[in-house]
Amino acid sequence: MEQQITYSQSPEHIAQLGAFKAEVVINSPGRVNLIGEHTDYNNGFVMPTAIDKTIQFYLKKNGTPSQARITSLNYDSHFSFDVATYDPNGVEWTRYIVGVVEEIKKLGHSLKGFDCMMYSNLPMGAGISSSAALECGLAKGLNELFDLGLTDLEIIKLSQMAEHNYVGTKCGVMDQFASVMSRENHVIQLDCQSLEYQLLPFAIEPYKLLLLNTNVSHSLSTSEYNVRRAECEAGVALLQKWYPEIITLRDVTLEQLQKHKADFDPVVFKRCEYVLEENQRVALAAKALKAEDLKTFGTLMYGSHEGLQHKYQVSCKELDFLTDFSKNYDAVLGCRMMGGGFGGCTINLIHEDHIDAYVEAAKKAYHKQFNIKLSTFTAMPANGGERIH
């Protein structure tokens, strides 16, 4: 299938990068999450992997004491700042960059002036975590450029804190972990509490992962993310009356939650119930993958979407339409919304022989329903961020 979203480097970009003479080049991938959505910030379980769509970082020292100059080739955007002085007033995309620099400094490292060019073939707004790719790629690049000696886990955690402290999204650790630690042809079963993980072989041939991008991004996506986190924390605070040892929803059983249902605000109860059920789905999905039982895996994906739609309420009519649409096709074993919600992509487990026909049918139906063009692309497990020069 011809991929519908591509960013091919123009001769002008290639010439710019050639003239730039980078000392370090980093490939930093986006990620998909097969199952385990909105569980990471509740210290739960997730199943992500990096994918073969990346941001490339070209870095070199520029000989100045502290001047950083950043260029995004995709958007022809330029940004400069002083690495020695924190300025909180930049536009949103620059806060990821400044945040990474500030978090590196908090670990006791000093940086000097550097230049960085970035080039991406990550579809923006598709819910495949371009933000984590940006944070982790820059952190890894600066680590290599200045020989900082940061471990992979330090890169993961400082990148997460950059998003918390400078962007304002209280994200879990999943996106950054997947962007750094993934391996080709595997998915990660990650415990977000202990950060223990297993690499599970992703033997799904002749099936593939197909992403259908709704090309909508409802304004609720950022604000409601933090609301959901607060609702889960409210559930934990209530349960601590009876179970003081509980710290997060990870420590709660469904039996404990059900026992005190009458004491809960109904909305908060639904949020907590979804998280506990989704954790169970991740465990069952790992078992199904190990058994190469893709039918069960697909059924769990549908169960995940149903919970996200009705209990966690982070879906939208466009995502629900595409998920319902997939149920009419035997070639699709499973489908669900992926990412924070309120837009972005559905992820579909589909037989490779039927991708073209399915994409054509889905595009036609989606345009008829919403008068919006659907974008599609395949994505398969790839290595985490790595130095390629």
Mark whether 330 is an active-site residue: no
Question: How many Å apart are CA 71 and CA 350, to the nearest integer?
Answer: 38
Can you read off the two tokens belonging to residue 72?
């995004």
State which H helix or E strand residue 281 sits in.
helix 266-290
3-state DSSP percent of the chain in helix, strand and coil, to 5 = 45, 25, 30
How many residues can be counted in the chain? 389
**SS (HEC) of 79-147:** EEEECCCCCCCCCHHHHHHHHHHHHHHHCCCCCCCEEEEEEECCCCCCCCCHHHHHHHHHHHHHHHHCC
- 343-351 and 375-378: which strand pairing? unpaired
**Distances from the Cα of 254 to the Cαs of 246, 263, 380, in angstroms?**
13, 15, 34
Q: Give the number of C-alpha atoms closer than 13 A to the C-alpha of residue 359, restricted to the C-beta side.
A: 21
Name the one residue in this structure whose structure tokens are 């709660």: 252
In one-letter notation, the amino acid at residue 256 is Q
Of the listed 147, 175, 263, 265, which one is catalytic?
A: 175
Q: Strand, coil or helix: what is 73?
A: coil
**SS (HEC) of 287-340:** HHHHCCCHHHHHHHHHHHHHHHHHCCCCCCHHHHHHHHHHCCCCCEEEEEEECC
Q: At what angle do helices 152-162 and 92-106 cross, to 10 degrees?
A: 130
- 77-82 and 67-72: which strand pairing? antiparallel
Catalytic residues: 175
